[in-house]
Structure 1
Amino acid sequence: MLHKSFFQKLVAIAGLSLAVMMPNEAAASSRIKDIVSVEGIRENQLIGYGLVVGLNGTGDTLRNTPYTEQSLTAMLERLGVNAKGETMRPENVAAVMVTATLPSFARQGTRIDVQVSSMGDAEDLKGGTLIATPLLGADGEVYAVAQGSVAVAGFSAQGEAASIVQGVPTNGRVANGGIVEREIPFELSDLTAVKLSLHNPDLTTAQRITQAINTHLKTNMARLLDPATIQLDRPIGYEMALVDILTTIEQIAVTPDQKARVIIDERTGIIVMGSEVRINSVAIAQGNLTISISEQPQVSQPGAFAQGGQTQVVPRSTVNVEETGTEKLTVLPPSVTLQDLVDGLNALGVGPRDMISILQAIKASGAMQAEIQVM
């Protein structure tokens, strides 16, 4: 019974080890919906110039921002108020840039959020109201009109001798402040062919998506054009409409492939390594040389009964040299997994900054089979 129990435990441990070593394809797979975008289904950027009024003395200084005064004068003239030649010194008006994103298939009357950002020297947009502002597309046409109360997340407060600013009070948002006035003419149901664009272009991933679609639909409808594009051609007489085809295939699970890549942010010391990163056998030695110089000047005076002499300050310098780090070369064996690479680098006891230099040196030596991208 003892041998049998020991054998059962050994089998259980072996099975657990195999489960850890074997890649979990289901966990690594993603829906086609999450890794591609459909041609024509896209957002569009809108931009406009407007005025925010009703500020509590935190608006633009007109002598510093002449465009604010010109915009205010033009707006009053459109409303029947003649303000030309008049000297205006309001402090509750600010010129702003208004931006928004027009969603795909947005219909007339649909409301969208808009972003408001100060252009002049306004201190705070809190409590202001955006006056009706047309929002233009890249073609110069008006697609929406924005108006409403500006909500600001940050704030600023100032006293006689101190001030505090939290967040960005010159940037705000008007929730549902834009109304779509023009639709973008595009009917997906009228298409007989459509292209799928990969978010991360890769030839292997595109090939897997193509095969998965054709296998699921039992037809050669999908064609691979390039690492970033797959074309779907709906055959004549096919019973499913193109919209129904897209709805069906977007739920298919595919395992994306990825390049071996190391992302380095030298400003923050962040290192991100993909699971496909491999290194050949390489030896590494790391050390830091620290030189410290301390100054302790001393005062030299002549003796009590000395004839003549002067009191002088004599410099005294102490120089210390200290070298830290690994005293010997550390050999990293050929890595099989990312964990081996991480464990090998951590064995050196180095921080993120030194690790960045080590990774770049490994790449320069040709031992790393990966692409390094510095942000």
Structure 2
Amino acid sequence: MTPSVRPRILFAALGLSLLLALWLSLALGPVSLGLTETLRALLRLFGLPLPGTGLERAELIVGQIRLPRTLLGMAVGGVLALTGVAMQGLFRNPLADPGLVGVSSGAALGAGLAIVGTAYLGEPPAWLSPYLLSACAFGGGLGVTALVYRLGRRDGQTRVATMLLAGVALAALSGATIGLFSYLADDATLRRLTFWNLGSLAGASYPRLWPVLLATGAVAFWLPRRAEALNALLLGESEARHLGLDVERLKRELVFCTALGVGAAVAAAGLIGFVGLLVPHLIRLLCGPDHRVLLPAAMLAGASLLLFADLLARLLLVPAELPLGIVTALLGAPFFLYLLRRGNY
């Protein structure tokens, strides 16, 4: 595949796009702020004394509501795109998705257990209540991914095709279990379960943000270090082994990074589709398959896309708010169908 955009131009465009998305996310909402007002409030939040009055409202809106939401959107979008690149490299298929290893369905199952369990068993202790849903979702994602990886092991080797089939089967089983929860739930529990599965950044807060930032930072640090190995894997597993690559170790690292990143993202924001599928595919069309460029470019694009999608979710039906997963699906599905129409798959 011949890249159509030079890396420097691509990174400059993606950087400007992310800055624009960052500013709009901080400035726009039911109460809109000007550029100067937003910047001054942001600088005051970081401890820079500025003359003048009247920034208290802007500082409160930016610092307590929009900044954690914006940072969460950047982290979730970036890590979903990164793990999408990893899974497409692992399966050597540009149509692969992070959910293929079962982490998204496992996280949804864990969250469903927490929501229904709370409804039937009562609220947990006050110190645990803010973290129960996220912890169960994260644990469910890791648990199902570990099971998929275990089922994919044969004779000391990880078989990618077997992992794919195991992921499909466990995703169907998780979906059936969530459907059973929905059938047994009362109206309030059903509403909570449904809205969590649709995805949203509305519940963003600093305690909810830090685990996602740590997971995103770890994945963003490690995956680019394996860019050369991913490039070698594109040639095939046997060719990669002949080049001296430990293929089994690379598979474990890719699966673990995907489980860590997607598990943290889904635990914080619910199920958000198409980012991990569409963004790597689109960036690959622009810059080619070289993972040294593809990984950081996809991370920037994923963060920008999710912030713009969250803006639409906030602004389209003010004062109501659309679930973010609906917006990403409405934006991503038609565009992806267009890519399929013009490509050879």
TM-score, normalised to structure 2, is 0.21
Query: Which one scores higher on RCO, CA 8 angstroms, separation ≥ 6?
Result: 2
More helix by share: 2
More strand by share: 1
Q: Quick check: which has more Rg, 1 or 2?
A: 1
